[in-house]
Amino acid sequence: MKLLCVDSEPVYREIISLCAEKENVTVTSVSSYEDAVQAFIDYAPDMVTLDVVVKGGSGFDLVKTLKALSGNRFIPMIFLSSQATDTVMDKCFKSGADDFIPKPFNEVLFNIRLKTHMRHVELMKEMYRKNKALTYYQTMIEREHEMAHHVLDHIQTRSENNSEHVVITRLSAASFNGDLALVKTRSDGARLIFVGDFTGHGLPASIGALPVMHAFFDAVDDLLDVNELAGQMNRILFSILPDYMFCAGYLILMTPNGDILYWGGGMPNALIRRACGAIDYLRSNHMPLGILPAYEFEGDLQSNKLNVDDTLVIVSDGVLELKNCHDEMLGDDQVEKLISSSYSEKSLILAQKMTEKKLTEYRGESVQLDDITLVALRNERLQQ
């Protein structure tokens, strides 16, 4: 710890130096305004003691100058002066001083005040160190997030773009989306769809996304059966995810004529809005991916059909659990009504936008607590 003593009287410079050195404080003493400024720059003290009267200038002005030179550093400025009137002390503190001790001072009192300011300096230094470390780690995290965003976004560009046949909406609750929505048409004309919802949201919920996406697009290229792909994804996630994480999901294969073959685990029921307005369901009867070992995994499939003017809508539980400003969840019944009304629209893109708008209006000013994913599909024959 270093102290700069500014005093025109040699006796006080000597007393202050002796007192401070007993507390293991290194002291540099000067007697004038100009020397004080130069010593402050060269010596970089942790504390400063000074008098109201300084050779070559005013102690009040000196404090202002030294405070300006200290920048972001916290350096206590302690006045030691025989001018102890209320007016003088008021001017001292208004100039930026941190303490005032009247002369002649008691050595015990001075040591107590000195140790108090030493503790303040140490606390501030520790705070600066921790802030610097936090800034460093924040910068590293931002870089890692940027890299992960780049990798995941690049891979997801292989998924089909929104059209009047397929529309995907993903609304993140954090910087990373824990949901996956992948759609790709195979060389045989069948369309493969995967909608997955990893435990939680944010970056931890995205750690399984990369291998799952690779497996999905490899399966598109290889025309892999749906049940085999489901088993493969389960093995991947079972091997890499911690015990408390899993991925609920639908894996769907839809042929050009609308026949649907699917595997579902841990997801809300997907809804089919029939052309007549009735609602049908794809049911998610299995355990989520990544929970069961390969020998216990159930890969049996279910079937359905998407007829002309029917719309298949797959939602993550972030839609069902969306809360409004009254802390009320949207719930299954309201979601069903929302899909029934919105997807009566002939344009699938417009229907999806209407749904997004209604979800936003329902949430209002409340916080979105989970990722939201909506995937809507219609048979291509509608456009032929």
Task: Quote the pLDDT of residue 176.
Answer: 62
**What is the radius of gyration, based on Cα positions, of the chain?**
35
Burial of 317 (C-beta count, 10 Å sphere; 0-12/13-18/19+): middle
- Its pTM stands at 0.67
pLDDT of residue 160: 86
**pLDDT digits (tens), the chain, 384 positions:** 999 999 989 999 999 999 999 889 999 999 999 999 999 999 999 999 999 989 998 999 999 999 999 988 899 999 998 888 889 999 999 999 999 999 888 888 889 999 999 999 999 989 989 988 898 888 887 777 677 666 666 666 778 888 989 999 988 776 666 688 999 999 999 999 999 988 865 566 567 788 898 999 999 999 999 999 999 999 999 998 888 889 999 999 999 999 999 999 999 999 999 989 999 999 999 999 999 999 999 999 999 999 988 999 999 988 999 999 999 999 999 999 999 999 999 999 999 999 999 999 999 988 888 888 999 999 865 343
Q: For residue 264, give the H/E element and its range.
A: strand 259-265
Per the listing, tokens 């209407």 go with 354
Classify each residue of 284-299 as buried b or exposed e, where b means 16 or more C-beta atoms within 10 Å of its C-beta: bebbbbbbbeeeebeb
Question: Would you state the pLDDT for residue 107?
Answer: 86
257 DSSP assignment: T
